[in-house]
């Protein structure tokens, strides 16, 4: 792992680079995951910056992820949006994955809205459902906060009693109700990936209290909480992970389900942004 002083210097350089390009108006940051990058198309007058052009930014290696940062307005509210994120399975460490969250906070972002694709283990969930995260379980085997703590960024032992902000969850729930969108709620469990789970693993993960499983989001939300950001996350349930009736799943199936759910997810995210930006 890179030493903390170098890491912080890199975060600062990326921050200064972006402050010049996009300013510091945005108080809301979005992270758009697998197959969910279309929300980005709704961002008006967007300045688009490729990750490769930002000093020290990691680069998305996953085909289904764009690698661009967008700055513009969603529903009239200034936002910064990551179209494509980073995962442990790409070979990045926890600090690299969460580099953009550190940068966003330094640019003035206070609220982090995250989307992802996940496998549904709760038997009441169906492919294409949306799930609002109420809590998470980190089973990735690593934590983005290990190593020396940067006290200016946050505490050594951050509280995790409510990683997903209650107020934001209420807004999302109301937005879904108003639009007659079914919004499930539950616990998201993060694994490292990249393989999907075995039947025995799904049975185990369900037993320990998870409703959905995926390969992202938890590192970003841990760092968001470390920096005192309010976080909210929504999963698209892209496959049904019921151990006793498990069917093979392809990446195409996952992307197709994500695409189907995208309009509902976009509507909720947009409504939440508009409500917070009031």
Binding site for ligand HPA (CB under 6 A): 117-119, 191, 196-197, 213-215, 238-239, 241, 254
Continuous segment of H or E residues that includes residue 129: none
- Least separation in angstroms between residue 10's CB and ligand HPA is 29
∠ Cα 194 197 200 (to 5°): 155
- Least separation in angstroms between residue 240's CB and ligand HPA is 9
Angle 251-277/166-178 helices, nearest 10 degrees?
100
- If the CB atoms of residues 165 and 197 are measured against ligand HPA, the closer one turns out to be 197
- Least separation in angstroms between residue 86's CB and ligand HPA is 15
CA separation for the pair 190, 167 (Å, rounded) = 23
CB-CB contact of 190 with 212 (8 Å): no
- If the CB atoms of residues 67 and 119 are measured against ligand HPA, the closer one turns out to be 119
- If the CB atoms of residues 215 and 234 are measured against ligand HPA, the closer one turns out to be 215
* DSSP string over 27-53: -EEEEE-TT-GGGGGG-EEEEEEEGGG
- If the CB atoms of residues 96 and 238 are measured against ligand HPA, the closer one turns out to be 238
CA atoms within 13 A on the CB side of 164: 24
- Least separation in angstroms between residue 66's CB and ligand HPA is 18
Please name which of 49, 30, 34, 9 lies closest in space to residue 89, comparing C-alpha atoms.
34
- If the CB atoms of residues 77 and 189 are measured against ligand HPA, the closer one turns out to be 189
Nearby residues of 250 by Cβ (< 8 Å), 6 or more positions away: none
- If the CB atoms of residues 193 and 277 are measured against ligand HPA, the closer one turns out to be 193
Angle 99-106/218-226 helices, nearest 10 degrees?
30
- Least separation in angstroms between residue 113's CB and ligand HPA is 19
Residue nearest ligand HPA by beta-carbon distance: 119
- Least separation in angstroms between residue 85's CB and ligand HPA is 13
């Amino acid at each position: 792992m890179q030493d903390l002083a170098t890491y912080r210097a890199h975060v600062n350089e990326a921050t200064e680079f972006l402050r010049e390009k996009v300013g510091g108006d945005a108080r809301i940051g979005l992270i758009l995951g697998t197959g969910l990058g279309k929300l980005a198309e709704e961002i008006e007058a967007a300045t688009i910056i490729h990750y490769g052009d930002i000093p020290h930014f990691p680069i998305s290696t996953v085909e289904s992820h764009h690698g661009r940062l967008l700055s513009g307005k969603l529903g009239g509210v200034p936002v910064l949006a990551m179209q494509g994120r980073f995962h442990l399975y790409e070979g990045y460490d926890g600090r690299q994955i969460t580099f953009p969250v550190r940068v966003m906070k330094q640019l003035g972002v206070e609220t982090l809205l995250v989307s992802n694709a996940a496998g549904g283990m709760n038997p009441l969930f169906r492919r294409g459902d949306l799930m609002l995260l109420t809590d998470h379980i980190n089973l990735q085997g690593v934590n983005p906060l290990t190593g020396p703590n940067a006290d200016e960024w946050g505490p050594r032992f951050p509280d995790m009693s409510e990683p997903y902000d209650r107020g934001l969850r209420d807004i999302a729930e109301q937005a879904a109700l108003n639009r007659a969108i079914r919004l499930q709620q539950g616990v998201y469990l993060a694994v490292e990936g990249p393989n999907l789970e075995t039947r025995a693993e799904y049975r185990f993960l369900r037993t320990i209290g998870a409703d959905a499983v995926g390969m992202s989001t938890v590192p970003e939300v841990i760092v968001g909480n470390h920096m005192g950001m309010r976080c909210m996350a929504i999963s698209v349930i892209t496959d049904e992970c019921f151990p006793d009736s498990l069917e093979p799943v392809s990446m195409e199936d996952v992307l197709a389900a994500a695409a189907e759910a995208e309009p509902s997810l976009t509507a909720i995210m947009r409504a939440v942004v508009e409500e917070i930006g009031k």
